[in-house]
Amino acid sequence: MIDLNVQLLDEKRILISGIPAVLAAMLREVPEILELRDSPDARARLYPNPTTGNNTINQEWHQMTGPELRHLFVSAGETVTRDLTALTADKENAQAWQVAFPIEHVSAWMNALNQARLILGEVHKIDEVEMNRTDFDPQSAKHMAALRIHLLGYLLHLFVELDNTHEPENHI
Amino acid sequence: MAPPIETGQPGVIVIGETDTKDELSSAWNVIVHNDPINLMSYVTMVFMRVFGYPRPRAETLMMEVHNQGRSLVWSGGREQAEHYVHQLHSYQLLATMEKSAA
């Protein structure tokens, strides 16, 4: 049973606790997944065209916004990679893991988790059908990618819920 | 944007102004497209953050994206449309802009 929890530890820190071993392993893989962000498929998804048919606008757009977007994505990944070095055994549950980090890092966590999910989706050609799959063959790289996307998505959803508890006046 | 006009003087070109004025004064639509990976709750949160929409409107637009494959989430001036598309890309949503037909 997953007892994953994202909560404010105090005014300055966030705690993710009850991280099951399988999710802890996936989190440790996030930095490696993010290194694939410059593969052609991942690039097309992370840096999409701003128009569906105007090549002039699209080219100018990528020149103008590409470096800034890449800096944002790389920076978020670096923040999460550093935070993950504090991943440790859960004090309340010997079977689980926990990690605490500054509250200002929440946006970076959401960004990096979503990047990893999108990159996995592009690299493994995950479509709507694969996302609706409920049985996962451990021998199938595609199935395991879909499972990773779901589990990382569950953690991302908990961050969104935490954000909802602070709407509308104070976004984390 | 209008194509540059050669003046015959070395190094001097004139950028046509008419089209630029038209583009700036035209309404532009910001469209968000469906993708199989982004969470519905995440997309709703992004619409609330980027446009300041209240939750019911953000959820309605998110469901439009989910059910119809795309949703027109904002219309207005070109510069602001570009700003919003950039913001949506920073949240990793598939967003495009197009000149309004109206």
Give the mean model confidence (pLDDT) for residues B46-53: 97
Contact B92 A111 (CB under 8 A): yes
The minimal CB distance from A149 to the residues B37, B41, B89 is found for: B37
pLDDT digits (tens, 9 = 90+) for A66-114: 999 999 999 999 999 999 999 999 888 888 999 999 999 999 999 999 9
Give the mean model confidence (pLDDT) for residues A112-133: 96
ipTM of the complex: 0.92
Gap between the Cα atoms of A69 and A46, Å rounded: 9
Kindly list the distances between the CA atom of residue A47 and the CA atoms of B24, B30, B93, in Å, as whole numbers in the listed order: 24, 16, 10
Contact B41 A111 (CB under 8 A): no
Chain B residue with the nearest C-alpha to that of A64: B86
Give the mean model confidence (pLDDT) for residues B11-30: 64
Contacts of A65 (CB under 8 A, 6+ apart): B86, B89
B27-99 architecture in CATH? 2-Layer Sandwich (3.30)
Environment class of residue A94 by beta-carbon count within 10 Å: exposed (0-12), middle (13-18) or buried (19+)? exposed
A64–chain B nearest CA distance, Å: 10
Q: Give the neighbor-by-neighbor strand order of the sheet with A13-20.
A: A5-8, A13-20, A96-102, A88-89
Question: At which residue do the structure tokens 């495009």 appear?
Answer: B96
Environment class of residue A5 by beta-carbon count within 10 Å: exposed (0-12), middle (13-18) or buried (19+)? middle
B62–chain A nearest CA distance, Å: 15
pLDDT digits (tens, 9 = 90+) for A149-161: 999 999 999 999 9
Residues of B with CB under 8 A from a CB of A: 1, 35-39, 41-42, 45, 48-49, 54-55, 82, 85-86, 89-92, 94-98
Sign of CA dihedral A71, A73, A79, A82: negative
Comparison of pLDDT for A17 and B102, the residue scoring more: A17
pLDDT digits (tens, 9 = 90+) for A25-52: 999 999 999 999 999 999 999 999 999 9
The pTM of this model reads 0.87
